[in-house]
């Protein structure tokens, strides 16, 4: 996978569990941080989307946990956006620590009207900006 964007998180103590490693649900929070940071480069990003009355629901998620993340680890999250079709899009992710794979995965999303929750096409400006960013 060809990732042109990355962001960083530091594993919080609150994200660890009694196994001494980051809890499996924390990875979905990190994926979300990565895609929000990814979108933040375009216009007002995700807050702008919400201001326009568009909610992007998560409709599917997948994580492969390759090597446990631990407290205070500095993780790099690479991500890419693709498969924009109508209301839907997909993000792929790879999490690394010092160049070593920690986890990877993907999420799928659907834009809906924030009020009616009816499907809504991904706004044209966003499709355009993502196409430019990923090309």
Chain residues that interact with a copy of itself, rule: CB under 8 A? 12-14, 16-21, 23-26, 28-29, 32-33, 36, 46-47, 55, 57-65, 68, 70-72, 107, 117
Which two tokens mark 52? 């326009």
User: What is the nearest approach in angstroms of a copy of itself to the Cβ of residue 26?
Assistant: 7
User: What is the nearest approach in angstroms of a copy of itself to the Cβ of residue 80?
Assistant: 19
User: What is the nearest approach in angstroms of a copy of itself to the Cβ of residue 15?
Assistant: 8
Nearer residue to a copy of itself within complex by CB, 3 or 65: 65
- In angstroms, the CA 48 to CA 34 distance is 17
Nearer residue to a copy of itself within complex by CB, 4 or 12: 12
Q: Measured between alpha carbons, how far is residue 106 from residues 21, 43, 79, 124 in Å?
A: 21, 24, 9, 23
Give the total residue count for the chain: 135
Strand partners, 105: 63, 93
């Amino acid at each position: 996978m060809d990732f042109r964007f990355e962001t960083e998180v530091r594993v919080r103590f609150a994200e660890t569990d009694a196994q001494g490693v980051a809890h499996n649900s924390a990875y979905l929070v990190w994926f979300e941080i990565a895609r929000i940071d990814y979108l933040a480069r375009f216009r007002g990003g995700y807050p702008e989307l919400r201001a326009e009355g568009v909610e992007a629901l998560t409709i599917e998620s997948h994580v492969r946990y390759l090597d446990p993340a631990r407290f205070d680890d500095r993780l790099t999250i690479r991500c890419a956006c693709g498969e924009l079709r109508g209301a839907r899009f997909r993000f792929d992710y790879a999490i690394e620590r010092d160049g070593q794979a920690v986890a990877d995965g993907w999420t799928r999303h659907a834009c809906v009207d924030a009020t009616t929750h009816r499907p809504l096409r991904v706004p044209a400006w966003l499709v355009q900006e993502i196409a430019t960013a990923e090309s």
